[in-house]
Amino acid sequence: MTSARPALLGGPELGLALRGLARRLGARRPRFLRGERVERPLVARRVRTERLVLRRHRMSDAADWYAIQSCESVIRGLRWPVRDARQSRQHLRDRTRHHVLAQADDFLAYAVDFEGVLIGDVLLHLRDVNRATRSAEIGWVLNPDYTGQGFAAEAAQAALGLAFRRLGATVVFAEIEPTNVRSQGLAKRLGFEQRTPTRHALVREAWERGAAERRRPQRVIAEG
């Protein structure tokens, strides 16, 4: 009689499984395991668009951030856990620390500021550093009180400009649940193409073509 042995993971399977688990837990690999760095890290500086300012998050945003995190549609759209005010502050604190893209898994969080109020957030995750295949993933959220006015598109457009022109991304991905119709609509308006049920992609050439048709250039203001 042969005894049944538990299946053991090894090699690349183990690596993938660990990476998946780390992602679900929100953990990032230690820096020394994250490979090469981009030749010129992207550091978040204030960006002024037609109506908005993109800037770093700060703890004085805590009440506005909690208002966003308390919205049922936001929790559903982003699959965020329900957070109380203290947990929301911790979450915000983490965001205040992420403002440089240099290595794979780094993320840069931009607060979306409209007339001095934090109305949302746009994120860039650096996924692939290799120059020929460099990629980033974008994420967005808006306080429902401010949706339906083109603010998310305006903020995302500025972040895409940084991803393609400054970071040198060849493609930007957006991961969107098939049920998230508003987010899918935004991706489509921005020129993303759907590749899988959840993955949408915008390649640099397509973004450049769209950029040529857009009106005003964004102004980058030195931080400080």
Ligand X SMILES: CC(C)(COP(=O)(O)OP(=O)(O)OC[C@H]1O[C@@H](n2cnc3c(N)ncnc32)[C@H](O)[C@@H]1OP(=O)(O)O)[C@@H](O)C(=O)NCCC(=O)NCCS
Footprint on this chain of ligand X (rule: CB under 6 A): 73-74, 77-78, 140-142, 147-153, 176, 180, 182-183, 186, 189
CB 96 to ligand X: min, Å? 20
How many C-alpha atoms does 13 have within 13 Å on its Cβ side? 4
Q: Looking at beta carbons only, is 122 or 129 nearer to ligand X?
A: 122
Residue 83, burial from CB neighbour count under 10 angstroms (0-12, 13-18, 19+): middle
CB 134 to ligand X: min, Å? 22
CB 149 to ligand X: min, Å? 5
CB 13 to ligand X: min, Å? 28
Q: Looking at beta carbons only, is 63 or 181 nearer to ligand X?
A: 181
Q: Which residues contact 83 (CB under 8 A, 6 or more apart)?
A: 66, 69, 91
Q: Looking at beta carbons only, is 147 or 170 nearer to ligand X?
A: 147
DSSP state of 34: S
Q: Looking at beta carbons only, is 20 or 150 nearer to ligand X?
A: 150
At residue 136's C-alpha, the angle toward residues 27 and 181, to 5°, is 90
